[in-house]
Every structure is written in structure tokens, then in C-alpha cells.
Structure 1
Amino acid sequence: MTLQKPLKIGYVPEHFSTPLHFAQKYFGLDAELIPFPSGTGHMVTAIRAGEIDVAIGLTEGWIAGLGKTEETEENDGGYRLVGTYVETPLCWAISTGKSRPDIKSVDSLKGSKIGVSRIGSGSYVMGFVLADQQDWLLPTTASGSSAPYNEFIVLNTFENLRNAVNDGTADFFMWEHFTSKKYYDNGEIRRVGEIYTPWSSWKIVASTKLVSKSDDETKVDERVEDLLEKLNQGIKHFNEHQDEAVKYISTELDYSEEDAREWLKTVRFPERTQGVDLKVVNGTVEILQKAGVLSAGSGIQPEGMVAKRR
């Protein structure tokens, strides 16, 4: 019998990764954890390239990636949704440079230069959701879609985004609130506002190489099933040992103890990570279509995005 290789798991090395750390430390998760500080957009590229097998990232990034993919024999989108990692929405902080007196409020951002980690990333997708909420979306013209911003500046990393709003390369960017807060506190960047995702914020995906269909049944590789079960144990440990979670976040990650404790009040992980609610996917697709990120009738449809349903 040939032994299967441990999974390569992509993740964002932020406070949300703590249950994954516990799953490996205490519950025997046999996997190689590969950090992607540049976020979900980078993981979409990596899982399609075969560099990782499974990934934990933002709902909007995964769904936008599949919704923009026309499925063919040669291109199946590269991944499918298999699990739910966080039940609560994500608070995106809207940030600008410390010396930008021209940017006083969210209203000042219409037609400006938005910094994003990658095209298709959460920071990119949420730019359209913000524009939709602010009624900045313009009707499509004969020459194509009219974007709510003057330019999308691709900057890859959170550090590059912070630098860009201070040197004028970009006017603003959006990133998770508690990850941004340290840099408000030290005066490096300035907060303009915030926006919450209209959906539960983190999902787990697996490469299509680990998903198989027989008749009407879809199965995922046993290593993925083991990962989901170990994550359940990691989440349970996280919930029952919050002082340990705070210590890990404040010593191994880039957060203060105070911010770690405040974050704990805002986040809820599921008791069981297995599966994704199709209603959540449908609702996310509807909002992304309204925001102009996806087009109705195009790309992989919600039913085809989910390999493992709740």
C-alpha cells in the first residue's frame, strides 16, 4: 500500500489561524502549513497551480474565483468549497495615509485609487461591495463597464498597501480590522471607516484533484476529511483555552494582548467545519453580481462550487 503524502495547506498567518495551529500542535494534524500573508487571491493562484492541496481563506475570494471561471474539460476552476471555517462576518477597516487631509470620510474615496493585494482577492472584491453600498456603481457603457475607482493598484502584501497610501501610490485600501489596528495605534495609517462582509467570512477549499464524483455523490479525499475533523478539535480547544489563544496570538502573531482579547469577542468558529451551506453561497453570488464582480449566468454556478454540503 502506497502511503499518501501529507496535505499542503495554505492559510493566512493572522489571528484566525489559531485553531489550525492548535489542530497541528495537539491533535495530530499531519500536514505542511504554508503561510500566504498576501491573502486569498494568492492562494487561488497557488491551488490552481498545484502548489497547495487545501486552503483556508475568505469566502468572497473563493466564490469570485469560481464565479469568473467557465468550466471546461481543460479548466474545472481548480478547487471546490468543502468546509466552513468562520461563521461570523469579517470587519474590513478602510485605511488611508497618515498625511492625507484630502481624505476625510468614505465619501472622499469615490473615483480614487484603491490598493488591493491581488485582482480577485478579498480586498479587491470588497471594493465593489463598498461601491455598491455607497451607490458608486455606474451603468455599463458601450465601451465596457465603468469602474467606481480611477485605478486598482495591485500591491500584494499588507506592508506594501500601508506604504502605498503614505507615498501616494494608492489613496486607500481595505484590510481586516484587528490586523490594521496596530498601525492606527502607532500612527502609520489612518482609519476612514469600516465595512462588514454580508456573508460568513472564511471557507475551506480543496483542489479538484482531491474531489471525485460517482453518480450523484461527491466524495473528498480522506486526508481532507481528517483535516476537517482535526480542525473541529482545534476549534474546541480554542474555545476552551482562550488565555492560551491570546498568548499565542500576542506572542507569535502581530497583535497586542488587548486586541487579541477584543477580537475573541467578535469571532465565532463552527462546532463542525464539514460542509458549506448552499444558501450562503447563493447569497454571496447574488451580492457579488449586484456589485458587478460576477455576471449572472456566467461562470461556475453555486451548486457546482460546493463539493461538500451542510
Structure 2
Amino acid sequence: MTNLKVGGVPEHFNYPWYITLKNKEYNEHNINLRWQDYPGGTGQMCKALREGTVDIAIVLTEGIIKDIAAGNPSKILQTFIKTPLVWGIHVGAKSSFNKIEDLENATIAISRFGSGSHLMAIVNAHNQGWDVSKLKFKVIGNLEGGIDALTNGEADYFMWEHFTTKPLVDNGIFRRIDDCPTPWPCFVIAVRNEVLENNFEEVKKVLDIINSETKDFKKRDNIDETLAKRYEQQLEDIQKWLKITEWNDGKPITKNLITRIQNKMVQFNVIQEKKNSGEFIKNMYL
């Protein structure tokens, strides 16, 4: 039995993993795959990949590209969610900020440096024409930390996935001022180089199983009701989310896509320079 650890955010995007694990589909191929939640998001997962405490990670595209460029010994195998992620821009319920322009000099809560909440704050600032070098950040760890920071005034605004934070908006904990979609496919599957060298076939089998599940995931009976109940969402919100979300059908990631994303990341000052796009990816099907 080959032991492998996979990790991701405890959000609705990753429910297909839960189904395949619950059905013990990996065990049938002599793979003992274990899931680990990473509520701290992509920054936390990049650290885990570097430290070898996770083997496969479902991470935000911009975060892992930035971290591989900075020396993370991992490769991107494919996109997992091929549509953009919609980031809500939130302030505390009692905040005096009411529109996006008010936030230019405000302090931004981020889970970690290099995380999606950090990098997308830079993208948003660039979209608004603000001076990115003057942005002020407060590291808060995860969504719970973001709630605390906005409630007690340690930070002014916080960017997190629109639908995950929708119950906080509905309950009057956050106010959403605006949305900022990622200008690229949002989630990718990344694997440590050491695991690719030692367990190439097993990783390939894991991809085959999860891609088979996501292919018809949206056609599952009552999947909207299941997700709404499990993630404590309004049914209509989950239905909206399912409408705008597409999983990858197993196609490998291309150098061309990585180049296009790097071009945008340089333009947004998220990375300083482009690297050879081939260094970021591994095609499992050559």
C-alpha cells in the first residue's frame, strides 16, 4: 500500500475528493490516500509542500506559481477548477468604509504572505490604479482570524472566496463592498517533485480517479442540496456557484497557460520576472 497525503481548503470546491475518499476508490488501487484540511489556504499548503508534510495540494494558481518560482520543489500537474475564483472584498459590519475607493489606504487582512488573500489584494489594488508599494497588510492566519481582525479593528478589509463568506455577510458579520474575480483558472493540483519521482504511477491513478469524479459531479442527484447542507450555505447561493464553476476534465496544464498567467502576474506586480514556464509543470500523460 502506497501512503499519500492530499490537502486543500475545507470548502465546497473539494467535495469531489470527499466522495472518492469515502468510497475508498484509491484503496482499490493499493493507494492509502489521506485528506488534510488547510483552513489557512494556499500559503499554508505551499509551506506544507516545502516541508514534505503534504504530497498533493489543491492550491490557488497564483500562489503556487509564485512559490515554485521562489524555490518550492513541486510541479503543477493540471488545473482542478478551470474557471475563475470570485473573491469578495469584505469589511466589518460596523465599518465606516462603504465603497471600493475608500479602501485605498486601508489595512488588508491576509492569511499569509504569498497566499491568495495577499496576492489578490495586489491584483485588486492594481485594478483600482492604486500604488501597490503602499499597501499595508495584517497577517491573520485564516478565515476565523479575518473575522476577528475586522471585528476588533486590527484590519480594515479582507478578501476571501465570495460564496464561502456569504453566510458571514448574511449574518451581518461582514459587509461585502465588491468582488474581484481571478484573471486565470483558480485552483491547480500540485505535487512534490520527490513524490513524482518515487510514485509517478500512483499519482497518475489519483488524478484519473478524481478527474472521473469531477467530470459528472454537477449532474449528481441533489448535489446542490448536499453542498448547501454540508457547507451551511443557502441553496440559491450554491446553485449560483455551481453555474459559474467548471472542473478540469483531466487535460494537463500547458506551458502556454503558465506563460499567460505569468505575464499577468508580472503586470500586476505579483512576481518580479517571468521564468521558463516548463519549470512549473509536469505532464503526466506524455
Equivalent pairs: percent with the same residue? 29
| CA root-mean-square deviation | 1.8
Length, aligned pairs only: 280
Deviations 1:1-21 (A, max 9, x none): xx432x100111101011112
Match of 2:185 among 200, 203, 208: 200
1:246 shift after superposition: 2.3
Amino acid at match of 2:19: F
SS in 2 for 1:179: coil
SS in 2 for 1:55: strand
Deviations 1:227-284 (A, max 9, x none): 10011121134132051x2233223223232322221111011222x52122221121
Alignment partner of 1:160 is 2:145: yes
- Provide runs of 4+ in structure 1 moved above 4 Å: none
Match of 2:123 among 125, 129, 144: 129
Q: Which residue of 2 aligns with 1:53?
A: 55
Per chain length, whose mean CA-contact separation is higher, i.e. which structure has more relative contact order (CA < 8 Å, sep 6+)?
A: 1
Distance in 2 between residues matched to 1:275 and 1:199, nearest whole Å = 16
1:160 shift after superposition: 1.1
Q: Which residue of 2 aligns with 1:81?
A: 76
CA contact (8 A) 1:21 1:234 kept: no
The structure-2 alpha-carbon separation of the partners of 1:119 and 1:207, relative to structure 1 and needing over 3 Å to count, comes to: same
1:139-288 equivalences under 5 Å are 147-149=133-135, 151-212=136-197, 221-243=200-222, 245-272=223-250, 274-288=251-265
Distance in 2 between residues matched to 1:182 and 1:242, nearest whole Å = 24
CA contact (8 A) 1:220 1:307 kept: no
CA contact (8 A) 1:61 1:125 kept: yes
1:97 shift after superposition: 0.7
Q: Which residue of 2 aligns with 1:73?
A: none
SS in 1 for 2:175: strand
The structure-2 alpha-carbon separation of the partners of 1:46 and 1:183, relative to structure 1 and needing over 3 Å to count, comes to: same
Distance in 2 between residues matched to 1:282 and 1:137, nearest whole Å = 25
Deviations 1:201-234 (A, max 9, x none): 110000010234xxxxxx9611210110011121
Deviations 1:154-199 (A, max 9, x none): 1011011022112110010100000111111111110110111000
SS in 2 for 1:276: coil
Q: Which residue of 2 aligns with 1:104?
A: 98
Q: Which residue of 2 aligns with 1:35?
A: 37
CA contact (8 A) 1:44 1:65 kept: yes
CA contact (8 A) 1:23 1:233 kept: no
1:82 shift after superposition: 0.8
The structure-2 alpha-carbon separation of the partners of 1:309 and 1:107, relative to structure 1 and needing over 3 Å to count, comes to: farther
Deviations 1:23-78 (A, max 9, x none): 22336024100010111110000011010100111111111112233xxxxxxx22
The structure-2 alpha-carbon separation of the partners of 1:168 and 1:242, relative to structure 1 and needing over 3 Å to count, comes to: farther
Distance in 1 between residues matched to 2:142 and 2:271, nearest whole Å = 25
CA contact (8 A) 1:27 1:230 kept: no
Q: Where in structure 2 are there 5+ consecutive unaligned residues?
A: 27-31
TM-score (norm 2): 0.92
Distance in 1 between residues matched to 2:134 and 2:232, nearest whole Å = 33
Q: Which residue of 1 aligns with 2:29?
A: none
The structure-2 alpha-carbon separation of the partners of 1:47 and 1:18, relative to structure 1 and needing over 3 Å to count, comes to: same
CA contact (8 A) 1:56 1:203 kept: yes
Q: Which residue of 2 aligns with 1:74?
A: none
**Larger CA deviation: 168-177 vs 14-23:** 14-23
Q: Where in structure 1 are there 5+ consecutive unaligned residues?
A: 70-76, 139-146, 213-218
CA contact (8 A) 1:10 1:34 kept: yes
Q: Which residue of 2 aligns with 1:306?
A: 281
Alignment partner of 1:18 is 2:11: no
Distance in 1 between residues matched to 2:227 and 2:185, nearest whole Å = 22
